[in-house]
Amino acid sequence: MKKSIAALSLAALLAAPGITLAAGKNPLSVHVLNQQTGMPAPGVAVTLEQKQGESWKVVNTASTNQDGRVDALWPGKPFEAGDYRVIFKTGQYFAEQKQQSFFPEIPVEFHITNTTTTYHVPLLLSQYGYSTYRGS
């Protein structure tokens, strides 16, 4: 009985706002899916930038894994509120697939106010179009 109470207490703590991030979960992830193939898009270069005044500062860079994901795009520093953009280098991805693309890169701008939650930016991609939204 003591073990189950301790397990429930631990589960309640981990579910509390802010505790998840402290437990090591990265607050920002992305996912790229190729709509034409219905498959993940591995090897897409991704850049995270933070707006500073009228310019942008690179915060981190990564490439999508075999599942089309970057699970930990936020660098190992405190999560900060502000204006950000993720730039997906889609022209390079399609060139490697030996296909043309209308969009050489896709910048997705967003605003973070709550630093105690996680953010996910999915990109549904084709050679001549894309869509994105705030995922979970």
What are φ and ψ of residue 35, in 5° steps? -65, -30
Instruction: Give the residue from 83, 81, 123, 120 showing the smallest Cα distance to 106.
Output: 123
Q: Specify the pLDDT at position 126.
A: 96
Where do runs of H (alpha helix) occur along 1-136?
2-15, 19-22, 90-96
Q: Specify the pLDDT at position 5.
A: 43
Average pLDDT over residues 94-107: 96
Give Cβ neighbours of residue 57 (< 8 Å, ≥ 6 apart). Answer: 49, 50, 51
Tokens 């896709």 identify what position? 106
Domains of the chain, first to last = 27-132 (2.60.40.180)
Q: Specify the pLDDT at position 103.
A: 96
Percentage of the chain beyond pLDDT 70 is: 82
Average pLDDT over residues 41-62: 98
Q: Give the tokens for residue 57.
A: 């500062």
Amino acid at 61: T
